[in-house]
């Protein structure tokens, strides 16, 4: 079958590999219907050292169950399902606490030279714990929005949950990528009254306004801090959702945060240390967030997608076939595309 592998910075290719097989009785094999490219794929795409064996790519998928291991009981061949980007058993103590990302049987896509979800087929670990049935048909116009439940919508929601965004809040969202825009949806959904979106790509911030952003700040770094403080009476905002993950955005987030407030980080950190110090200590800033336990949120968010009250699928502005996956990576890296669907 064809599958996407990254061999080094800028070198993403679709190659022929053996089809995945059931290697554990808890596995399932999906025939991929929709996959997509994640902003986090771009970090590797831009900086991964040469890797002759390649790294299998793709961790967001809707597919049809093609085969199941002997211990899989909740799914049958032919089911239309989604798999969030973290595979988990959904039964251990961490999963029961809603922290599926720390599941005692956690696994991620594309490790050990295996293909990921940007492929014709993909193996799912812990299928009963990981998969969720898609309650619409394969040709439903809701499918792209449901695909966001595999990662970006749940990640944006995680930012809002960790910051305890509540009715009436003023919230700052840093980043106009797909996660940032989904964080706007999540903040709005939880009742935030004012949502300040920080981003400089007008098409994206326009979508952010459609999703509920009340203000847009294009400035960055110290100018960004000054602008948000100006918009908030000098104090900054008590809830800051950091959806990028660079040194400059975490610094900006801390600068923007009101004393006693929360910086909720869901942008995968590209830094090794954060500027927490005596200055932030004096201001009682809380830094929280982390990788989203997406599985924990799907049951809550799916009804809103089915009802049409949230439309996160609008973050997809490009669709390509698997053979064109390199085009998709380049378009997202060049910011020509916001988020790209890959259809085998």
Any contact of residue 170 with a copy of itself (CB under 8 A)?
Answer: no
For helices 178-189 and 202-211, the axis angle rounded to 10 degrees is 20
The residue from 51, 102, 114, 311 that contacts a copy of itself (CB under 8 A) is 102
Would strands 80-83 and 61-68 be described as parallel, antiparallel, or unpaired?
antiparallel
The residue from 9, 23, 138, 276 that contacts a copy of itself (CB under 8 A) is 276
CA distance 124 to 69: 10
Any contact of residue 168 with a copy of itself (CB under 8 A)?
Answer: no
**Spatial CB neighbours of 111, under 8 Å, sequence gap ≥ 6:** 56
Phi-psi sector, 251: left (phi>0), alpha (psi -120 to 50), beta = alpha
The residue from 71, 275, 309, 336 that contacts a copy of itself (CB under 8 A) is 275
Phi-psi sector, 92: left (phi>0), alpha (psi -120 to 50), beta = beta
CB of 180 to a copy of itself, least distance (A): 17
The residue from 4, 26, 90, 101 that contacts a copy of itself (CB under 8 A) is 101
Looking at 24-172, list the stretches that DSSP marks H as alpha helix, in order from N- to C-terminal side: 39-47, 93-96, 127-130, 143-147, 152-162
Any contact of residue 287 with a copy of itself (CB under 8 A)?
Answer: yes
Any contact of residue 96 with a copy of itself (CB under 8 A)?
Answer: no
Query: In terms of CB distance, is 17 or 159 closer to a copy of itself?
Result: 159
Any contact of residue 94 with a copy of itself (CB under 8 A)?
Answer: yes
Residues 290-329 that bind a copy of itself (CB under 8 A): 290-291, 293
Residue 144 backbone dihedrals phi, psi, to 5 degrees: -60, -40
Query: In terms of CB distance, is 267 or 313 closer to a copy of itself?
Result: 267
The residue from 271, 323, 335, 343 that contacts a copy of itself (CB under 8 A) is 271
Any contact of residue 155 with a copy of itself (CB under 8 A)?
Answer: no
CB of 275 to a copy of itself, least distance (A): 6
Query: In terms of CB distance, is 31 or 288 closer to a copy of itself?
Result: 288
CA distance 64 to 78: 6
Query: In terms of CB distance, is 209 or 283 closer to a copy of itself?
Result: 283
Three-state secondary structure call for residue 202: helix
- Cα 19 to its chain centre, rounded Å, is 26
Which spans of this chain sit near a copy of itself (rule: CB under 8 A)?
94, 97, 99, 101-102, 162, 259-260, 265, 268-269, 271-278, 280-291, 293
């Amino acid at each position: 079958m064809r599958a996407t592998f990254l061999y080094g910075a800028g070198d993403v290719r679709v190659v022929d590999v053996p089809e995945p097989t059931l290697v554990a009785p808890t596995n399932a094999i999906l025939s991929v219907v929709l996959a997509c490219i994640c902003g986090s794929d771009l970090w590797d795409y831009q900086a991964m050292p040469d890797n002759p064996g390649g790294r299998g790519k793709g961790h967001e998928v809707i597919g049809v169950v093609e085969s199941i291991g002997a211990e899989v009981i909740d799914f049958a061949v032919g089911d239309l399902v989604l798999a969030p980007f973290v595979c988990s058993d959904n039964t251990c103590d961490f999963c029961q606490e809603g922290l599926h990302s720390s599941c005692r049987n956690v696994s991620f896509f594309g490790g050990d030279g295996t293909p990921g979800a940007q492929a014709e087929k993909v193996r799912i670990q812990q299928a009963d714990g990981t998969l969720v049935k898609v309650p619409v048909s394969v040709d439903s116009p809701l499918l792209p929005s449901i695909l966001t439940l595999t990662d970006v919508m749940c990640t944006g929601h995680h930012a809002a949950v960790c910051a305890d965004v509540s009715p009436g809040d003023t919230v700052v969202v840093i980043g106009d990528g797909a996660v940032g825009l989904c964080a706007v949806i999540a903040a709005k959904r939880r009742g935030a009254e004012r949502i300040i979106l920080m981003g400089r790509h007008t098409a994206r911030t326009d979508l952010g306004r459609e999703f509920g952003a009340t203000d847009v700040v294009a400035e960055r770094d110290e100018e960004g801090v000054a602008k948000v403080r100006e918009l908030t009476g000098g104090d900054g905002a008590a809830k800051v959702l950091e959806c990028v993950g660079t040194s400059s955005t975490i610094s900006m987030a801390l600068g923007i945060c009101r004393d006693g407030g929360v910086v909720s980080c869901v942008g995968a950190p590209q830094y090794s240390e954060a500027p927490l110090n005596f200055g932030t200590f004096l201001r009682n800033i809380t830094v929280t967030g982390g990788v989203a336990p997406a599985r924990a949120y799907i049951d809550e968010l799916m009804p809103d997608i089915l009802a049409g009250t949230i439309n996160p699928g609008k973050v997809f502005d490009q669709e390509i076939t698997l053979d064109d996956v390199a085009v998709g990576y380049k378009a997202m890296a060049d910011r020509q595309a916001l988020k790209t669907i890959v259809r085998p």
